[in-house]
C-alpha cells in the first residue's frame, strides 16, 4: 500500500512547491504532526502559518460538528446567523476603531482581490504601491502584488503596480545612521519615483505589517506611519494584509494596533480560520457605503459560508479565553532568547528578529560580508526534518537564507526547548559536513 500511494502521488499529483517530504502525514494535534509510520514532528510553521491555536483544537472540532448539525454551506444570498455574529465580534473586539464592515471569503489571495476591487472602485484609480519582499497571493491581482515569489512564466501581470523597497534593518538598501532613517529614505525615493510615473490614478498602498515571506522584516513604526500619510496625500487607500499578523501572533490584536496606524482596509486569512479556509476583508462604513452605491459585487460559491463562520468564532473565543495574545509575547520572548543563545554559539546565525511568535533567523557565511548561507540553510532544514522539526526556509537568492519560525501560540516551553536542541544539533552537523566537503 505504501508503494502504491507513493506511485499514485508521482503519477497523479501536480507538483506545486519545492518541499519533498519523506512520507504521508495522517494526523495533527497541537504542535505535533504525525506521518504514517507514527513518527512525530514538531510543527514550527503552524501548518501554513494557519494553525494559530494549534492543530485540531477541540473548539474547532466542535465548531465543525456544530455546523454539521445545522449547515455547512448555503446560497451566498442566505446569510447564516454565525456570519453577523463573527462580523460583530471582529468590529467590537479585534479591529481598530472605525473598521467595522466585513465580508467573509476563503483564502488570503481572495481577500486581497476583494480589497483591490474595493480600493479601485472607491478611488476610481488603478495604481497600487506595494512593498518589495511582499506576499499577497497567487490569483490574478494578488499575484501582481507579490514580490517574494517567482514571477516568471505566468504571463503579463496586472498593470499599475509600483514597488517600494522593503525596510530591512539587517540589509538596508540605503545605509543610514539608524534603521528608521534608512527605511524612510527608501520610502522617500520610492514615492518620488512613483510620483514621476503616476498617471494620477492612485488606488492603494498595500503592506504587510511584518514582511514575512521577505524574511520576517519588521518595519520601524515611523515607516508605517509615513505610509499612512503617503496614502492620504495621494488620495489612495491604505491596505494592511494581516494574514499572519492578526489575532495575536505578534503579541498584539493586529499589526494595526502594534504600529498605531489605522488603515482603510484590513485583509485577514490564515490566523482567523485556525487551519480551515476562512478569510475576511474589513473596511469603514463610509467606504462600504460608497462602493455599495456603485454596485460593488464579489460573488463566490463560498462567501459567508456557515461552517467557516462557526470556526472563526471558535478561534477568536479560544484566543481570548486562553489569553493567547499575551502568551505570544511571553513564549515569543522565551523562544527568541533560546535562539539568541544559539546565535552566540554559531557565527553563521547573523540575525534573529521578529515579533511575538513570528520570528526570523538569518544564516550567513560570515557576519562581516553577510553573504547568505543558502547551502547551509537548505541542509540544516533537511536535517531538522529528519530529526523531527519542521521549519520553513526562504530560498530566494535575493531574500537571504532565513528561517521563518512560527509555532502555534499554544506551544509549550518543553517543545521550544526540544526544537532549539534539534536546530542546534542540525546546524552544528551541517557546518561540519560543509566544512569537510570544502
What is residue 396's predicted lDDT score, i.e. its pLDDT?
67
What is residue 4's predicted lDDT score, i.e. its pLDDT?
85
The CB density around residue 371, as the number of other CB atoms within 10 Å, is 13
Locate the domains of the chain by residue range: 2-53+323-437, 59-321
3-class DSSP state of 329: helix
How many Å is the maximal CA-CA distance in the chain? 68
What is residue 189's predicted lDDT score, i.e. its pLDDT?
97
Between CA 136 and CA 144 the distance in angstroms is: 9
Between CA 395 and CA 217 the distance in angstroms is: 15
Strand 32-35: give its sheet, edge to edge: 25-29, 32-35, 40-43, 389-390
What is residue 19's predicted lDDT score, i.e. its pLDDT?
64
Between CA 136 and CA 268 the distance in angstroms is: 11
What is residue 10's predicted lDDT score, i.e. its pLDDT?
85
Architecture, CATH, for domain 59-321? 3-Layer(aba) Sandwich (3.40)
Phi-psi bin for 247: left (phi > 0), alpha (psi -120 to 50), beta?
Answer: left
Distance of CA 218 to the CA centre of its chain: 13
Q: What is the mean pLDDT of each run of 10 residues along the chain (438 residues)?
A: 80 79 88 94 95 97 96 94 98 97 97 98 98 93 88 87 96 95 97 97 98 95 98 98 97 98 98 96 98 95 96 98 98 98 96 98 94 93 94 74 95 98 97 91
Q: Residue 396: enclosing H or E segment and its boundaries? A: none
In the beta sheet, which residues pair with residue 251?
none
What is residue 153's predicted lDDT score, i.e. its pLDDT?
86
Between CA 308 and CA 300 the distance in angstroms is: 14
Active site residues: 135, 208, 241, 244, 270, 404
What is residue 354's predicted lDDT score, i.e. its pLDDT?
98
DSSP state letters, 44-85 = TTHHHHT-TT-BT-HHHHHHHHHHHHH-S---TTS--THHHH
The CATH number of 2-53+323-437 is: 3.90.1150.10
- Alpha carbon distance, N-terminus to C-terminus of the chain: 42
What is residue 395's predicted lDDT score, i.e. its pLDDT?
64
The pairing of beta strand 265-268 with beta strand 237-241: parallel
Cell numbers given for 319 = 484566543
Between CA 407 and CA 422 the distance in angstroms is: 15
Amino acid at each position: 500500500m505504501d508503494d502504491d500511494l507513493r506511485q499514485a502521488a508521482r503519477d497523479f499529483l501536480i507538483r506545486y512547491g519545492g518541499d519533498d517530504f519523506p512520507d504521508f502525514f495522517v494526523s495533527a494535534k497541537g504542535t505535533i504532526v504525525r506521518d504514517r509510520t507514527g513518527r512525530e514532528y514538531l510543527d514550527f510553521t503552524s501548518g501554513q502559518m494557519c494553525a494559530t491555536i494549534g492543530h485540531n483544537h477541540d473548539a474547532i472540532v466542535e465548531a465543525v460538528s456544530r455546523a454539521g448539525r445545522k449547515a455547512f454551506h448555503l446560497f451566498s444570498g442566505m446569510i447564516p446567523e454565525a456570519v453577523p455574529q463573527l462580523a460583530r465580534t471582529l468590529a467590537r473586539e479585534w479591529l481598530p476603531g472605525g473598521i467595522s464592515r466585513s465580508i467573509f471569503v476563503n483564502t488570503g489571495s481572495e481577500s486581497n482581490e476583494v480589497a483591490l476591487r474595493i480600493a479601485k472602485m472607491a478611488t476610481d484609480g488603478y495604481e497600487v504601491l506595494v512593498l518589495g519582499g511582499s506576499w499577497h497571493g497567487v490569483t490574478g491581482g494578488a499575484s501582481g502584488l507579490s514580490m517574494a515569489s517567482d514571477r516568471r512564466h505566468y504571463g503579463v501581470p496586472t498593470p499599475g503596480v509600483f514597488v517600494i523597497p522593503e525596510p530591512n534593518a539587517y540589509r538596508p538598501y540605503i545605509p543610514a545612521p539608524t534603521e528608521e532613517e534608512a527605511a524612510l529614505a527608501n520610502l522617500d525615493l520610492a514615492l518620488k519615483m512613483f510620483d514621476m510615473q503616476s498617471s494620477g490614478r492612485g488606488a492603494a498602498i498595500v503592506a504587510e505589517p511584518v514582511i514575512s515571506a521577505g524574511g520576517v522584516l519588521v518595519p520601524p513604526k515611523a515607516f508605517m506611519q509615513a505610509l499612512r500619510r503617503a496614502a492620504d496625500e495621494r488620495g489612495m487607500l491604505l491596505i494592511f494584509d494581516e494574514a499572519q499578523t492578526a489575532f495575536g501572533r505578534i503579541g498584539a490584536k493586529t499589526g494595526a494596533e502594534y504600529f498605531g496606524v489605522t488603515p482603510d482596509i484590513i485583509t485577514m486569512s490564515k490566523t482567523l480560520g485556525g487551519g480551515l479556509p476562512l478569510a475576511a476583508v474589513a473596511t469603514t462604513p463610509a467606504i462600504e457605503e460608497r462602493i455599495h452605491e456603485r454596485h460593488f459585487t464579489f460573488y463566490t460559491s463560498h462567501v459567508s459560508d456557515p461552517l467557516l463562520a462557526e470556526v472563526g468564532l471558535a478561534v477568536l473565543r479560544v484566543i481570548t479565553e486562553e489569553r493567547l495574545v499575551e502568551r505570544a509575547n511571553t513564549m515569543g520572548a522565551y523562544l527568541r532568547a533560546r535562539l539568541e543563545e544559539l546565535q552566540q554559539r554559531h557565527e553563521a546565525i547573523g540575525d534573529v528578529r521578529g515579533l511575538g511568535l513570528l520570528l526570523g533567523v538569518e544564516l550567513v557565511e560570515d557576519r562581516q560580508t553577510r553573504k547568505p548561507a543558502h547551502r547551509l540553510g537548505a541542509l540544516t532544514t533537511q536535517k531538522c526534518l529528519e530529526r523531527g522539526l519542521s521549519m520553513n526556509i526562504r530560498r530566494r537568492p535575493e531574500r537571504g537564507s532565513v528561517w521563518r519560525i512560527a509555532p502555534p501560540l499554544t506551544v509549550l516551553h518543553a517543545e521550544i526547548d526540544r526544537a532549539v536542541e534539534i536546530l542546534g544539533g542540525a546546524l552544528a552537523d551541517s557546518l561540519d559536513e560543509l566544512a569537510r566537503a570544502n
